[in-house]
Chains A and B, each alone.
Chain A
Amino acid sequence: MGLTDWLNPVKGFGVTFHTMFKKPVTTNYPEEKRPTAPRFHGRHQLNRWPDGLEKCIGCELCAWACPADAIFVEGADNTDEERFSPGERYGRTYQINYLRCILCGLCIEACPTRALTMTNEYELADSSRESLIYTKEMLLAPLTQGMEQPPHAMRLGETEEDYYRLGRTNG
């Protein structure tokens, strides 16, 4: 027992008083959005080749890798008149059910053509189950400079192998 023990409770208020002069740590989320980690697992994206053809070949490996059975893919054959991706097949139907998807990224690991990757977008909440089943149109990357809406012929090579070797010198 010291003489100044009665001061101890007051010291506690000192801590409280001190924090009044500190900068608050709060992020004002809807107004101020802080970037996620660069490799954050957010909403998926179906990528395109530089000429606009889809990278997805409809192999369904993502659907097989999915632990939650959230992905539905249905492949179809490309024809010379109607070509969506280089090579033999393309994903005609592509759906991801975000009410099943746990954003684990196993589908991205499984994808042989890097057609499926993840974005940093995370604002997914919605008011019905149907609206959270994302279809192919919603998942496809937007067309950028130099891209053309498929179906169209292969512009960047004779065969699909030329596409897969794009930008590579060996191997």
Chain B
Amino acid sequence: MGLEEKLPSGFILSTVEAAAGWARKNSVWPATFGLACCAIELMATGGPHYDLARFGMERASASPRQADLMIVAGRVSQKMAPVLRQIYDQMAEPKWVISMGVCASSGGMFNNYAIVQGVDHIVPVDIYLPGCPPRPEMLIDAIVKLHDKIQNMKFGAHRAEQIDELELQALRTLPLIDQGASK
């Protein structure tokens, strides 16, 4: 990314992390990817009643290069999947993805060959949002949860440490059957 990535770890980096996290979370520009009925709720969230502008998100970007957050709203068909991936690749780092609604999250009730069974097959998803479609409050709740993630995002050396730690954690996770998934 930028200069902030090159800083040595320690007191200065933690302060920069906190400041940059605060700045980032207060101006998340969404690249809306409205694909179906969830997009209607997404538009309602942008309207005066719920007012996404309160979170610095009123600029729903039609150009991926100026966007930070991709809100995948609706079922992703196999034909749309490469398009979605291209939009995601065009977005500049740092970028986040909210999978809005059950269809985007797991295919939902469309368990068939035409629909991608979860957008996380194509792009990494930060927040999964259930609901069919989720009401605007649910979307705002997901955004607030994402803000928490953005605020606590690490930089540079801290980031590398965090990635290693998460990787180790993932490797140590027991398969569902050993976690007592039958309960």
Our verdict on whether A and B bind, yes or no, reads yes
Q: Does B130 contact A (CB under 8 A)?
A: yes
Question: When each residue 64-83 of chain A gets 1 if its CB lies under 8 Å from chain B and 0 otherwise, what string results?
Answer: 00011100001000000000
Closest to B141 in A: A123
Contact of B131 among A25, A93, A103, A135 (CB under 8 A): A103
Q: Across the A-B interface, how many residue pairs have beta carbons closer than 8 Å?
A: 97
User: Which B residues from 134 to 162 make CB contacts under 8 A with A?
Assistant: 134-138, 140-142, 144-145, 149
Q: Does A167 contact B (CB under 8 A)?
A: no
Q: When chains A and B are docked, how far (Å) is the Cα of A122 from the Cα of B130? A: 9
With A100-B106, A101-B102 in contact, is A125–B126 under 8 Å at CB? no
Interface size of A in residues (CB-CB distance below 8 Å):
35
**B-side contacts of A25, CB under 8 Å:** 48-49
Q: Does A104 contact B (CB under 8 A)?
A: yes
Contact of A102 among B54, B132, B137, B149 (CB under 8 A): B132
Closest to B110 in A: A68
Contact of B183 among A97, A100, A130, A135 (CB under 8 A): A135
Closest to B103 in A: A102
Closest to A34 in B: B137
Q: Does A7 contact B (CB under 8 A)?
A: no
Q: Are B49 and A125 in contact (CB under 8 A)?
A: no
Q: Are B183 and A136 in contact (CB under 8 A)?
A: yes
- The secondary structure that dominates the A interface is loop
Contact of B108 among A68, A124, A126, A127 (CB under 8 A): A68
Question: When each residue 113-143 of chain B gets 1 if its CB lies under 8 Å from chain A and 0 otherwise, what string results?
Answer: 0000010100000111111101111101110
Q: When chains A and B are docked, how far (Å) is the Cα of A125 from the Cα of B54? A: 20
Q: Does B51 contact A (CB under 8 A)?
A: yes
Q: Does B182 contact A (CB under 8 A)?
A: yes
User: Which A residues from 23 to 50 make CB contacts under 8 A with B?
Assistant: 24-30, 33, 36
**A-side contacts of B48, CB under 8 Å:** 24-26
Which residues of A pack against B, CB within 8 Å? 24-30, 33, 36, 67-69, 74, 93, 97-104, 122-130, 132, 135-137
Q: List 17 A-B contacts (CB under 8 A).
A: A24-B48, A26-B51, A27-B49, A30-B144, A68-B102, A68-B109, A99-B102, A99-B106, A102-B102, A102-B132, A104-B132, A124-B131, A124-B138, A125-B128, A126-B127, A128-B128, A137-B183
